[in-house]
A and B are shown apart, each in its own frame.
Chain A
Amino acid sequence: MAEIAIKGVAKRFGGFTALHQVDLTIADQEFMVLLGASGCGKTTLLRIVAGLERPSQGEVWIGGRRVDHLPPRERGIAMVFQNYAVFPHLSVFENIAFGLRMKKLPQQEVERRVNRTAELMHIEQLLKRYSGQLSGGQRQRVAVARALAMEPDVILMDEPLSNLDALLRLEMRAELKGVLAASKTTTIYVTHDQVEAMSLADRIAVMHQGRIVQSASPVEVYRNPAARFVGSFIGNPPMNFIPATKAENGSWTVAGLTLSGPKSDKPRIEFAIRPEDVDAGGEGLRATVRVIEPLGPHTLVTCDVEGGLFRAILDSNASVQVGDDLRLAPKPDRIRWFDPETTNAL
């Protein structure tokens, strides 16, 4: 049983606040992905859970035990470092075996685990080499194997696949997920690759400027962004936002279209829709086509709506030309509204 609870954790570096009041609970055996732009505090949060950094404020609990005063080695964790930290003076084999040797496991068991994890990460032919003789991607896989070999209750991974080619990343991703599920490991996985986040996570915690903006299932995060940032960060292309002005209470005018929306006393709010949630034709948003990008199964159309960019994903046999005036009808159940001041969903 290794539930992780982060309670009111803040971290300041001198005058700079890297984390503000982070609260997050990761259930036993859950696969939690931390997703966020570069510099938003993902590594800092992970290092606080690992015990490599002290929180300025707040508590960290692992498996029902308060751990903020414990050194990393007493927290029952393993970690993949963003910069790998593969020991240069040890062979790949000894690197993977490092934690097992610290635990004084019998040689036979060490060999079994090293070989198994090395095979999993496709580095079994590199076991005799040294870090200096490996490529970046190989080094990264050594770092992952070293953590997996520990068979820990909790594994913390900081962008563990960032340096692999697309194909290998896809394969490793699937294997990681399988292995960690089978070993019932509680995982915190940091990435800024949203596809990776979507495909791996039980839950995604989206971070922005030192705060967790939303933590929910991948579908929920995608469908119902809790804040404007989440909608604009997740999805490729991201969500479209258009200013909406009040028509009467509960209905709003958006690019020439009147839609029923939330009741609010604000004169202006924001309308949002995902590119794939519009249909061409009929009663819709007035749009002028600027760029057309056929992507095979569908076509990405970039338009002007109300003087702003708007991206729509249309069926590939829709016949549109650059310069066309289109009507894009949003699917009513997919429309979201945001408060422009707080940026929160309405």
Chain B
Amino acid sequence: MHGKALPYLLLMPATLFLCIFFLYPFALVAFEAVTRDGAFTFDNFRTMAGSWKFPVTVRNTLLLAAIVVPIQLTMALLMASVVSRLETGRSAALYVFAIPLGISDLAAGLIWLAIFDQSGFLNTLLSSLGVVDRPVMFLGYQSKLTIFIAVALAEIWRATAIMMVILVAGMGLIPKEYYEAAEVFGASPWQRFVRITLPLLRPSLQTAIILRVILAFEVFAVVAALGGTNLPVLMGETYNWQFTLQDRNVAAASALLILAISIGFTLFFLRVLRVPKEARI
């Protein structure tokens, strides 16, 4: 009896902490989202969805996630495969790849702003090469596509490493003997990747994808730095409702929407990448 209770006792402080500093504020936000002046209402959600910016923000956010995450996943898989195969210098390579992880998202946005700005590195480079005679406005309000590309680039640069680190750890857990067996039984390197690595990596893939997708829906600082208001995203709108428009209730509704989308995708990936109990390593 005592032995069984012990793990729960050990988890107690962390659980209490979460309840006080997460669940309680969450309940407050949820309450604000469905009330106005003390009365229960869905008006906040209606106001949010009725704003002319709303469809654009939803579209931008989803599009950004839909483009950035698959590219990151592919790159992270590729990099992780290369790093896992290194016999020496593996940790050195990991450190280098992980540098962007140490930079806050706002700083990352500013770095890329310094590149794309009218007086930024890219313009300097282009004019010194004689490609352009006047600096180009890459991030002007007419060039939505360039802004989008710049944001996507910054996001990929910033957050691919976290996926890679998770995947490298996951690949390290796959016993070498399975690759040897596959090799003896005729699998080419690509077939080994598809038939051994990917299926056995599912738990790590799940973690990496879910983490990245959630972060992608919360994208904010990078967009703010590079696009200002020219590329509205969900998180930016939430910020607007709270601080520019001073409407806490609609801001709460907007935050709940982001949460709902995140939970939805998390459940989806948990289900799709589920490893049946009997098929675990």
Contacts and interface: CB of A to CB of B under 8 A. Distances in A.
Interface of A: 50-52, 71-73, 77-79, 81, 83, 85, 87-90, 98-99, 102-103, 129-130, 132-133, 146, 150
Contacts of B185: 73, 78, 98-99, 102, 146, 150
B46 to A, nearest CB: 48
Nearest to A95: B181
B191 A102 contact: yes
Contacts of A132: 278-280
Contacts of B196: 87
Given A73-B186, A98-B182, 10 more contacts: A52-B180, A71-B183, A73-B183, A77-B184, A87-B178, A98-B181, A102-B185, A130-B276, A130-B278, A150-B185
B200 A85 contact: no
A88 B202 CA distance: 13
B98 interface: no
Contacts of B177: 81, 83, 85
With a 10 A CB-CB cut-off, give which of B181, B184, B186, B196 has the most chain A CB atoms.
B184
B199 interface: yes
A88 B184 contact: no
A103 B186 contact: yes
B183 A52 contact: yes
B278 A81 contact: no
B279 A52 contact: no
B186 to A, nearest CB: 4
A103 B186 CA distance: 7
A78 B184 contact: yes
B187 interface: yes
Contacts of A50: 184
Contact of B181 (A51, A77, A81): A81
A72 B281 contact: no
A77 B180 CA distance: 13
A102 B180 CA distance: 14
A90 B191 CA distance: 15
Contacts of B178: 85, 87-88
Nearest to B186: A102
Contacts of A88: 178, 200, 279-281
Top-3 shortest CB links A-B = A102-B186, A99-B185, A85-B181
Interface in B169-185: 175, 177-178, 180-185
B188 interface: yes
A83 B182 CA distance: 14
B148 to A, nearest CB: 38
A79 B187 CA distance: 14
Given A88-B281, A89-B200, A132-B279, A102 B184 contact: no
Nearest to A47: B180
Given A87-B178, A88-B200, A130 B279 contact: yes
A89 B200 CA distance: 7
A312 to B, nearest CB: 46
Contacts of B183: 52, 71-73
Contacts of A146: 185
B200 to A, nearest CB: 6
A303 to B, nearest CB: 48
A112 B132 CA distance: 68
A85 B180 contact: yes
A81 B199 contact: no
27 contacts: A52-B180, A52-B184, A71-B183, A72-B184, A73-B185, A73-B187, A77-B184, A78-B185, A81-B181, A85-B177, A85-B178, A85-B181, A87-B178, A88-B280, A88-B281, A89-B200, A89-B279, A90-B279, A98-B181, A98-B185, A99-B186, A102-B186, A102-B191, A130-B279, A132-B279, A132-B280, A133-B278
